[in-house]
Structure 1
Amino acid sequence: MAVRHLSVGIVAVKRKLNNPWVDFEWLPEAVLPGLPAVEPRSLIGAEGSVERWYLGEAELAFHSGETSHYRDNLVSGRPAVWVALRESHEGAWHVAGVTVDPYEGESFVDVITDKVEALPMPHEIAVELQAFIDAHHVEQPFHKRKRDRKDPDAEQPEYGIGHPLRQGTGRRP
Protein backbone atom coordinates (compact mmCIF):
# COMPACT_ATOMS: atom_id res chain seq x y z
CA MET A 1 0.00 0.00 0.00
CA ALA A 2 1.36 3.39 -0.99
CA VAL A 3 1.61 6.06 1.71
CA ARG A 4 2.48 9.75 1.34
CA HIS A 5 3.39 11.89 4.35
CA LEU A 6 2.94 15.64 4.39
CA SER A 7 4.05 17.95 7.22
CA VAL A 8 1.69 20.77 8.15
CA GLY A 9 1.63 23.42 10.85
CA ILE A 10 -1.30 23.80 13.25
CA VAL A 11 -2.58 27.10 14.67
CA ALA A 12 -4.96 27.12 17.64
CA VAL A 13 -6.92 29.88 19.30
CA LYS A 14 -7.12 30.31 23.08
CA ARG A 15 -10.13 32.27 24.36
CA LYS A 16 -10.78 33.50 27.88
CA LEU A 17 -14.17 32.28 29.07
CA ASN A 18 -16.56 33.79 31.56
CA ASN A 19 -17.12 30.46 33.30
CA PRO A 20 -16.64 29.53 36.96
CA TRP A 21 -15.24 26.05 36.10
CA VAL A 22 -13.12 26.67 32.98
CA ASP A 23 -10.80 29.64 32.45
CA PHE A 24 -9.86 29.14 28.78
CA GLU A 25 -11.06 27.33 25.68
CA TRP A 26 -8.64 25.99 23.05
CA LEU A 27 -9.80 25.30 19.49
CA PRO A 28 -7.99 24.42 16.25
CA GLU A 29 -8.09 27.43 13.93
CA ALA A 30 -5.89 26.86 10.88
CA VAL A 31 -3.78 24.34 9.00
CA LEU A 32 -0.64 25.75 7.40
CA PRO A 33 0.84 24.07 4.34
CA GLY A 34 4.45 23.46 5.29
CA LEU A 35 6.15 24.59 8.46
CA PRO A 36 6.65 28.23 9.44
CA ALA A 37 9.90 29.51 10.97
CA VAL A 38 8.28 29.72 14.42
CA GLU A 39 9.00 27.57 17.43
CA PRO A 40 6.22 25.14 18.47
CA ARG A 41 3.97 26.37 21.29
CA SER A 42 4.63 30.01 20.42
CA LEU A 43 2.20 32.87 20.86
CA ILE A 44 1.81 34.41 17.38
CA GLY A 45 -0.87 37.02 18.02
CA ALA A 46 -3.39 38.41 20.47
CA GLU A 47 -6.54 40.55 20.29
CA GLY A 48 -8.25 41.29 23.59
CA SER A 49 -9.01 38.00 25.32
CA VAL A 50 -8.19 35.89 22.23
CA GLU A 51 -4.68 34.52 21.64
CA ARG A 52 -3.38 32.64 18.60
CA TRP A 53 -0.78 29.95 19.17
CA TYR A 54 1.35 27.97 16.77
CA LEU A 55 1.15 24.49 18.30
CA GLY A 56 3.70 22.91 15.99
CA GLU A 57 4.07 20.30 13.30
CA ALA A 58 1.60 17.54 12.49
CA GLU A 59 1.86 14.84 9.88
CA LEU A 60 -0.86 14.15 7.34
CA ALA A 61 -0.70 10.62 5.95
CA PHE A 62 -2.35 9.72 2.65
CA HIS A 63 -3.01 5.96 2.24
CA SER A 64 -3.78 4.44 -1.16
CA GLY A 65 -6.58 2.32 0.31
CA GLU A 66 -8.50 5.44 1.38
CA THR A 67 -8.49 7.37 -1.91
CA SER A 68 -12.26 7.15 -2.35
CA HIS A 69 -12.68 8.85 1.05
CA TYR A 70 -10.25 11.60 0.05
CA ARG A 71 -12.13 12.07 -3.21
CA ASP A 72 -15.39 12.43 -1.25
CA ASN A 73 -13.71 15.18 0.77
CA LEU A 74 -12.44 17.07 -2.30
CA VAL A 75 -15.78 17.00 -4.15
CA SER A 76 -17.80 17.97 -1.05
CA GLY A 77 -17.74 21.65 -1.97
CA ARG A 78 -15.82 22.48 1.21
CA PRO A 79 -12.67 20.34 1.42
CA ALA A 80 -11.49 20.09 5.01
CA VAL A 81 -8.68 18.96 7.26
CA TRP A 82 -9.87 17.56 10.58
CA VAL A 83 -7.72 18.54 13.56
CA ALA A 84 -8.09 17.19 17.10
CA LEU A 85 -6.48 18.94 20.07
CA ARG A 86 -5.96 17.21 23.42
CA GLU A 87 -4.96 18.54 26.81
CA SER A 88 -2.03 16.80 28.49
CA HIS A 89 -1.83 15.99 32.19
CA GLU A 90 0.30 19.12 32.64
CA GLY A 91 -2.43 21.31 31.13
CA ALA A 92 -0.67 21.98 27.80
CA TRP A 93 -2.64 21.50 24.58
CA HIS A 94 -1.16 19.52 21.69
CA VAL A 95 -2.26 18.05 18.35
CA ALA A 96 -3.81 14.61 18.90
CA GLY A 97 -4.64 13.92 15.25
CA VAL A 98 -4.87 15.36 11.76
CA THR A 99 -6.59 13.80 8.76
CA VAL A 100 -8.15 14.55 5.39
CA ASP A 101 -10.31 11.40 5.55
CA PRO A 102 -13.82 12.64 6.45
CA TYR A 103 -14.78 9.32 8.03
CA GLU A 104 -11.69 9.24 10.23
CA GLY A 105 -12.28 12.91 11.09
CA GLU A 106 -15.80 12.03 12.17
CA SER A 107 -14.38 9.41 14.53
CA PHE A 108 -12.19 12.05 16.22
CA VAL A 109 -15.27 13.33 18.07
CA ASP A 110 -15.58 9.98 19.90
CA VAL A 111 -13.05 11.29 22.43
CA ILE A 112 -15.26 13.79 24.22
CA THR A 113 -12.39 15.67 25.88
CA ASP A 114 -10.73 16.46 22.52
CA LYS A 115 -11.47 19.68 20.67
CA VAL A 116 -12.14 18.79 17.03
CA GLU A 117 -12.69 21.11 14.07
CA ALA A 118 -13.02 20.58 10.33
CA LEU A 119 -10.82 23.39 9.03
CA PRO A 120 -10.69 24.66 5.45
CA MET A 121 -8.14 22.72 3.41
CA PRO A 122 -5.36 24.94 2.04
CA HIS A 123 -5.03 24.88 -1.75
CA GLU A 124 -1.49 23.44 -1.59
CA ILE A 125 -2.73 20.42 0.39
CA ALA A 126 -5.68 19.93 -1.98
CA VAL A 127 -3.28 19.86 -4.94
CA GLU A 128 -1.06 17.25 -3.21
CA LEU A 129 -4.11 15.19 -2.27
CA GLN A 130 -5.54 15.27 -5.80
CA ALA A 131 -2.16 14.16 -7.22
CA PHE A 132 -2.10 11.25 -4.75
CA ILE A 133 -5.65 10.24 -5.73
CA ASP A 134 -4.79 10.44 -9.44
CA ALA A 135 -1.74 8.22 -8.92
CA HIS A 136 -3.27 5.59 -6.63
CA HIS A 137 -7.06 5.42 -6.90
CA VAL A 138 -8.54 2.13 -8.15
CA GLU A 139 -12.27 2.18 -8.74
CA GLN A 140 -14.05 -0.62 -6.87
CA PRO A 141 -17.17 -1.82 -8.71
CA PHE A 142 -20.29 -2.28 -6.61
CA HIS A 143 -21.59 -5.84 -6.43
CA LYS A 144 -25.00 -6.32 -4.96
CA ARG A 145 -25.01 -9.31 -2.69
CA LYS A 146 -27.69 -11.91 -3.33
CA ARG A 147 -29.54 -13.43 -0.43
CA ASP A 148 -29.14 -17.11 0.23
CA ARG A 149 -32.35 -18.96 -0.51
CA LYS A 150 -33.81 -21.30 2.09
CA ASP A 151 -33.12 -24.95 1.29
CA PRO A 152 -36.50 -26.71 1.22
CA ASP A 153 -34.79 -30.07 1.87
CA ALA A 154 -33.01 -28.87 5.02
CA GLU A 155 -34.26 -30.37 8.26
CA GLN A 156 -36.15 -28.13 10.62
CA PRO A 157 -34.73 -27.69 14.14
CA GLU A 158 -36.36 -29.79 16.83
CA TYR A 159 -38.07 -27.80 19.55
CA GLY A 160 -39.20 -29.45 22.76
CA ILE A 161 -42.76 -29.66 24.01
CA GLY A 162 -43.94 -26.31 25.26
CA HIS A 163 -41.33 -24.31 23.28
CA PRO A 164 -42.98 -21.17 21.83
CA LEU A 165 -41.68 -21.91 18.33
CA ARG A 166 -42.97 -25.51 18.27
CA GLN A 167 -45.57 -26.03 15.58
CA GLY A 168 -49.11 -26.78 16.69
CA THR A 169 -48.78 -25.77 20.36
CA GLY A 170 -51.47 -23.16 20.07
CA ARG A 171 -49.15 -20.60 21.73
CA ARG A 172 -47.80 -17.48 20.20
CA PRO A 173 -44.12 -16.67 20.45
Structure 2
Amino acid sequence: MIHNPKAYRAVPVGVVLRRVPGVTRWRKWSWSASAVLPGAAPAQWRELRREGDAVEYHADTVQLELHGAEAEAYQHGLGSKVPSVYVVMRESGGEHPLEIVLVTASPYEAQDYTDSGEEIVEKVPMPAQLRGLIEDFVAEFYQEEAFVKRKRDKKRVDLVQDGVGDPRIGKAADIYASPAQLRRRVH
Protein backbone atom coordinates (compact mmCIF):
# COMPACT_ATOMS: atom_id res chain seq x y z
CA MET A 1 0.00 0.00 0.00
CA ILE A 2 1.30 3.47 -0.79
CA HIS A 3 0.81 6.77 0.95
CA ASN A 4 1.62 9.22 -1.80
CA PRO A 5 -0.17 12.57 -1.30
CA LYS A 6 -0.20 13.05 -5.08
CA ALA A 7 -2.18 9.81 -5.44
CA TYR A 8 -5.55 11.54 -5.55
CA ARG A 9 -8.14 12.13 -8.25
CA ALA A 10 -11.69 13.43 -8.09
CA VAL A 11 -14.32 13.39 -10.79
CA PRO A 12 -17.91 14.67 -10.60
CA VAL A 13 -20.44 11.86 -10.92
CA GLY A 14 -24.17 12.34 -11.36
CA VAL A 15 -26.46 9.85 -9.63
CA VAL A 16 -29.61 8.69 -11.40
CA LEU A 17 -32.40 7.46 -9.13
CA ARG A 18 -35.38 5.51 -10.43
CA ARG A 19 -38.81 5.74 -8.83
CA VAL A 20 -41.39 3.01 -9.47
CA PRO A 21 -44.70 2.29 -7.73
CA GLY A 22 -44.33 0.39 -4.46
CA VAL A 23 -45.45 -3.20 -4.20
CA THR A 24 -47.26 -2.78 -0.88
CA ARG A 25 -49.91 -0.36 0.31
CA TRP A 26 -47.54 0.87 3.05
CA ARG A 27 -44.90 2.09 0.62
CA LYS A 28 -46.20 4.25 -2.19
CA TRP A 29 -42.87 4.41 -4.09
CA SER A 30 -39.78 2.26 -4.43
CA TRP A 31 -36.46 4.00 -5.11
CA SER A 32 -33.22 2.60 -6.53
CA ALA A 33 -29.96 3.90 -7.97
CA SER A 34 -30.04 2.99 -11.65
CA ALA A 35 -26.98 4.70 -13.16
CA VAL A 36 -24.11 7.11 -12.66
CA LEU A 37 -23.08 9.84 -15.09
CA PRO A 38 -19.32 10.59 -15.08
CA GLY A 39 -18.48 14.26 -15.57
CA ALA A 40 -22.08 15.38 -14.97
CA ALA A 41 -22.93 19.00 -14.24
CA PRO A 42 -24.60 19.88 -10.92
CA ALA A 43 -28.27 18.93 -10.75
CA GLN A 44 -30.98 18.83 -8.14
CA TRP A 45 -33.62 16.22 -8.85
CA ARG A 46 -33.96 16.98 -12.55
CA GLU A 47 -36.34 14.59 -14.31
CA LEU A 48 -34.56 12.69 -17.08
CA ARG A 49 -37.10 10.16 -18.32
CA ARG A 50 -40.65 9.02 -17.66
CA GLU A 51 -42.18 5.71 -18.73
CA GLY A 52 -45.67 5.33 -17.31
CA ASP A 53 -45.34 5.44 -13.53
CA ALA A 54 -41.55 4.91 -13.61
CA VAL A 55 -39.50 8.10 -13.46
CA GLU A 56 -35.73 8.61 -13.50
CA TYR A 57 -34.18 11.66 -11.85
CA HIS A 58 -30.69 13.10 -11.94
CA ALA A 59 -30.82 13.42 -8.17
CA ASP A 60 -27.44 14.97 -7.42
CA THR A 61 -23.83 15.27 -8.57
CA VAL A 62 -21.12 14.35 -6.07
CA GLN A 63 -17.34 13.93 -6.28
CA LEU A 64 -16.04 10.38 -6.74
CA GLU A 65 -12.70 10.55 -4.94
CA LEU A 66 -9.86 8.14 -5.64
CA HIS A 67 -7.11 7.84 -3.02
CA GLY A 68 -3.81 5.99 -3.44
CA ALA A 69 -4.27 4.21 -0.12
CA GLU A 70 -7.44 2.61 -1.52
CA ALA A 71 -5.86 1.42 -4.79
CA GLU A 72 -5.97 -2.22 -3.68
CA ALA A 73 -9.73 -1.95 -3.08
CA TYR A 74 -10.25 -0.41 -6.53
CA GLN A 75 -8.20 -3.25 -8.05
CA HIS A 76 -10.43 -5.76 -6.26
CA GLY A 77 -13.58 -4.03 -7.54
CA LEU A 78 -12.31 -3.90 -11.12
CA GLY A 79 -11.62 -7.64 -10.97
CA SER A 80 -15.23 -8.53 -10.17
CA LYS A 81 -17.55 -10.04 -12.78
CA VAL A 82 -19.36 -6.71 -13.23
CA PRO A 83 -17.15 -3.79 -12.13
CA SER A 84 -19.34 -1.39 -10.18
CA VAL A 85 -19.48 1.78 -8.17
CA TYR A 86 -21.47 2.04 -4.98
CA VAL A 87 -24.00 4.77 -4.29
CA VAL A 88 -24.45 5.50 -0.59
CA MET A 89 -27.77 7.17 0.25
CA ARG A 90 -29.65 8.16 3.36
CA GLU A 91 -33.39 8.65 3.78
CA SER A 92 -34.18 12.31 4.25
CA GLY A 93 -37.18 13.94 5.77
CA GLY A 94 -36.93 16.91 3.45
CA GLU A 95 -38.41 17.73 0.09
CA HIS A 96 -36.71 14.76 -1.59
CA PRO A 97 -36.89 11.21 -0.18
CA LEU A 98 -33.17 10.39 -0.46
CA GLU A 99 -29.93 12.25 0.10
CA ILE A 100 -26.82 11.13 -1.80
CA VAL A 101 -24.00 10.73 0.73
CA LEU A 102 -21.27 9.59 -1.62
CA VAL A 103 -20.27 7.48 -4.60
CA THR A 104 -17.29 5.17 -4.18
CA ALA A 105 -15.41 2.68 -6.31
CA SER A 106 -14.15 0.83 -3.21
CA PRO A 107 -16.15 -2.27 -2.26
CA TYR A 108 -14.44 -2.12 1.15
CA GLU A 109 -15.70 1.40 1.86
CA ALA A 110 -19.19 0.44 0.67
CA GLN A 111 -19.15 -2.52 3.08
CA ASP A 112 -18.30 -0.16 5.94
CA TYR A 113 -21.43 1.87 5.19
CA THR A 114 -23.65 -1.22 5.15
CA ASP A 115 -22.48 -2.17 8.64
CA SER A 116 -24.24 0.77 10.32
CA GLY A 117 -27.64 0.00 8.82
CA GLU A 118 -28.45 3.71 8.61
CA GLU A 119 -27.39 4.17 5.00
CA ILE A 120 -28.68 2.54 1.83
CA VAL A 121 -25.88 1.21 -0.39
CA GLU A 122 -26.62 0.24 -3.97
CA LYS A 123 -24.30 -1.31 -6.52
CA VAL A 124 -24.41 0.33 -9.95
CA PRO A 125 -22.53 -0.99 -13.03
CA MET A 126 -19.49 1.16 -13.79
CA PRO A 127 -19.69 3.06 -17.10
CA ALA A 128 -16.78 2.43 -19.52
CA GLN A 129 -15.45 6.01 -19.21
CA LEU A 130 -15.28 5.74 -15.41
CA ARG A 131 -13.79 2.27 -15.59
CA GLY A 132 -10.96 3.56 -17.81
CA LEU A 133 -10.22 6.38 -15.36
CA ILE A 134 -10.08 4.00 -12.38
CA GLU A 135 -7.96 1.45 -14.29
CA ASP A 136 -5.46 4.22 -15.14
CA PHE A 137 -5.38 5.34 -11.51
CA VAL A 138 -4.76 1.78 -10.27
CA ALA A 139 -2.06 1.21 -12.90
CA GLU A 140 -0.28 4.38 -11.79
CA PHE A 141 -0.51 4.03 -8.01
CA TYR A 142 -1.16 0.41 -6.99
CA GLN A 143 1.89 -1.53 -5.86
CA GLU A 144 1.32 -5.02 -4.57
CA GLU A 145 3.11 -5.67 -1.31
CA ALA A 146 5.30 -8.74 -1.19
CA PHE A 147 4.26 -11.29 1.40
CA VAL A 148 6.88 -11.68 4.08
CA LYS A 149 6.54 -14.73 6.27
CA ARG A 150 7.26 -14.11 9.91
CA LYS A 151 10.26 -16.06 11.19
CA ARG A 152 10.39 -17.34 14.72
CA ASP A 153 13.45 -16.75 16.80
CA LYS A 154 15.35 -19.75 18.18
CA LYS A 155 15.00 -18.78 21.84
CA ARG A 156 13.25 -21.40 24.01
CA VAL A 157 10.80 -19.59 26.24
CA ASP A 158 9.33 -22.75 27.75
CA LEU A 159 12.42 -23.70 29.81
CA VAL A 160 12.07 -21.14 32.61
CA GLN A 161 8.91 -20.81 34.66
CA ASP A 162 9.16 -17.18 35.53
CA GLY A 163 6.35 -15.68 37.61
CA VAL A 164 4.31 -18.88 37.89
CA GLY A 165 1.28 -18.85 40.09
CA ASP A 166 -0.11 -16.72 42.84
CA PRO A 167 2.37 -15.48 45.49
CA ARG A 168 -0.16 -16.35 48.21
CA ILE A 169 0.21 -20.06 47.44
CA GLY A 170 3.01 -21.57 49.51
CA LYS A 171 4.35 -24.37 47.30
CA ALA A 172 3.85 -25.87 43.84
CA ALA A 173 1.86 -28.82 45.25
CA ASP A 174 -0.77 -26.37 46.56
CA ILE A 175 -1.56 -25.01 43.09
CA TYR A 176 -4.16 -27.71 42.41
CA ALA A 177 -5.53 -27.92 45.96
CA SER A 178 -9.10 -26.79 46.56
CA PRO A 179 -9.64 -23.66 48.68
CA ALA A 180 -11.25 -25.82 51.44
CA GLN A 181 -8.06 -27.91 51.74
CA LEU A 182 -5.95 -24.76 51.98
CA ARG A 183 -8.10 -23.32 54.80
CA ARG A 184 -7.76 -26.54 56.83
CA ARG A 185 -3.97 -26.39 56.55
CA VAL A 186 -3.80 -22.77 57.71
CA HIS A 187 -5.96 -23.29 60.85
In 2, Cα distance between equivalents of 1:102 and 1:59: 17
Q: Mean alpha-carbon deviation: is it higher for 139-148 or for 92-101?
A: 139-148
Is the counterpart of residue 77 in structure 1 residue 81 in structure 2? Answer: yes
CA contact (8 A) 1:28 1:116 kept: no
- Choose between structure 1 and 2: higher helix proportion: 2
Across the aligned residues of Structure 1 and Structure 2, the Cα RMSD in angstroms comes to 2.5
TM-score of the superposition, structure 2-length normalised? 0.77
Identify unmatched segments of 5+ residues in structure 2. 180-187
Is the counterpart of residue 43 in structure 1 residue 47 in structure 2? Answer: yes
Is the counterpart of residue 64 in structure 1 residue 68 in structure 2? Answer: yes
Displacement of 1:110: 2.5
Displacement of 1:60: 0.8
Question: Given the superposition, is the C-alpha separation of residues 21 and 159 from structure 1 closer, same or farther in structure 2, using an over 3 Å criterion?
Answer: farther
SS of equivalent residue, structure 1 residue 142: coil
Is the counterpart of residue 89 in structure 1 residue 93 in structure 2? Answer: yes
Whose radius of gyration is greater, 1 or 2?
Answer: 2
In 1, Cα distance between equivalents of 2:31 and 2:116: 15
Q: Mean alpha-carbon deviation: is it higher for 17-26 or for 146-155?
A: 146-155
Letter of the 1:168 counterpart: Y
Displacement of 1:77: 2.4
Q: How many residues align?
A: 166
In 2, Cα distance between equivalents of 1:147 and 1:28: 51
CA contact (8 A) 2:165 2:175 kept: no
1:104 to 106, 109, 118: 109
TM-score of the superposition, structure 1-length normalised? 0.83
In 2, Cα distance between equivalents of 1:167 and 1:34: 73
Q: Mean alpha-carbon deviation: is it higher for 15-24 or for 151-160?
A: 151-160
Match of 2:175 in 1: 167
CA contact (8 A) 1:28 1:84 kept: no
- Report the identity percentage: 29
Displacement of 1:29: 0.8
In 2, Cα distance between equivalents of 1:91 and 1:130: 37
